[in-house]
Amino acid sequence: MKLKLGILNCVFVLMTGCATAKAIQGPDGTENQLIRCSYGIENCYNKAAEVCRGKYAIVNNSTNVQGSQGYISSTNEL
């Protein structure tokens, strides 16, 4: 039972922790953040709010969906 609980906790952490932020230079020279996430666009929004301390504007966004043999994954960028 403890093993199953541990595995479920790991899956939960992987699913909720799959958002990254990287500082990039915008076309006008200002610093922007590139937010990349998996498992739903909500993770991107949450990471953007965390990195930008609440308020942010989405400059551009994209979604990439891939699939193979019944498995589908998507990656979002803000």
Task: Please state the domain extents for the chain.
Answer: 2-77
The tokens of 55 are what?
């308020």
Q: Please state whether 5 falls in left (phi above 0), alpha (psi between -120 and 50) or beta.
A: alpha
Rounded CA separation 1/12 (Å): 17
**pLDDT per position as a tens digit, 17-67:** 589 999 999 889 999 999 998 878 888 999 999 999 988 999 888 888 888
| Separation CA 47–CA 45 (nearest Å) | 5
Binned at pLDDT 50, 70 and 90, residue 15 comes out as very low
Average pLDDT over residues 2-16: 40
Residue 24 CB partners (closer than 8 Å, separation 6+): 31, 32, 33, 34
CA-based Rg of the chain, rounded to a whole angstrom? 15
The predicted structure's pLDDT at residue 48: 93
